[in-house]
Amino acid sequence: MALKVQTHRLPFNISRGIRRALAMSLAVILFLSVYQQSIRAVTIIQPMQENKRITAQQRFEEGDRLRAQGTPESLKKAIEKYAEALVLFQAVGDRERENSLLVTIGLGYSTLGEWQKAIDHLNPALPFIRAAGDQQEEASILLIIGKMYHSLEKEPEALDYFSQSLLPSRASGDHYGEANSLFHVGQAHFAMQENEKAIDSWNQSLPLFRTAGSRSGEAVTLASLGRLYVSQGEKHKAIGYFNQTLPLYKNLTKKDEAALLNDLAELHYSL
């Protein structure tokens, strides 16, 4: 007679508990494995990032030393070093240094007269400057880019940037900055033969230059109005503006004063 083997099944709730415990154990093992891999990755990445940062700072300092030599050739080499530093600071995510270098490189190209390269570096810096809330720097960079477009004889683009620079200057309460922006807006209009708009912009800039105490700004604006009226053949109006300019130039530079006296003499002679 065959013996019957008695089998006992675990209660369902106990079996389910064991399955849960096994699943939790596997999850813990997996988590620990991933965590250890992450720790190893961070251990490797951190020294690499720090090495890049150190190298970037070295390139930046090399660039500063070259720029301090004050020659066009040394400035070109400085820009190369700054460009190397820029790539490394971008790689480590240092946005503040990235922005600073974009401006430095842009201004370096401006000094060399390489206007388009300057624009290509200064434009990407604008979002950083706006995010930082530095309205005066924003206005300054916009104005500089406008001047570069003016040098490239791209007056519509120059006018656009000069006009953009007005808003942050006004918002920051910078009377001189606002006057300077208006003066350059007038210059762009004059270059585009939009004389009435130029006159309007220059007339707006004059009281602001006076409020800011900028005798040079006031003098240049009055002289510009005088030359505009000369171009229109309105000699008496031109003489009136030149006469207002002369006392201001006497306190500034002899060269400008001499040029203005020459303009006045020619105008009086032609009447």
Digit-coded pLDDT (tens) for 17-27: 656 655 666 55
Query: How far is residue 241's CA from residue 266's CA, in Å, rounded to a whole number?
Result: 15
List the one residue out of 129, 139, 242, 135 whose CA is nearest residue 184: 139
Mean pLDDT of 235-251: 86
Distances (CA, A) of 174 to 31, 85, 126, 214: 57, 33, 19, 12
3-state helix, strand, coil in the chain (%, to 5): 85, 0, 15
Confidence band of 246 (pLDDT split at 50, 70, 90): confident
Q: What single-letter DSSP state applies at residue 71?
A: S
Confidence band of 219 (pLDDT split at 50, 70, 90): very high
Torsions phi, psi of 108, nearest 5? -65, -45
Q: What is the pLDDT of residue 76?
A: 96
Q: What is the pLDDT of residue 32?
A: 52
Q: What is the pLDDT of residue 5?
A: 45
Digit-coded pLDDT (tens) for 43-55: 544 666 788 889 9
**Could you tell me the two tokens for 89?**
């600071």
CA dihedral 235, 240, 243, 249 (to 10 degrees): -90
Q: What is the pLDDT of residue 36?
A: 58
Q: What is the pLDDT of residue 100?
A: 93
Digit-coded pLDDT (tens) for 58-93: 999 999 999 999 999 999 999 999 999 999 999 999
Residues written for the chain: 271
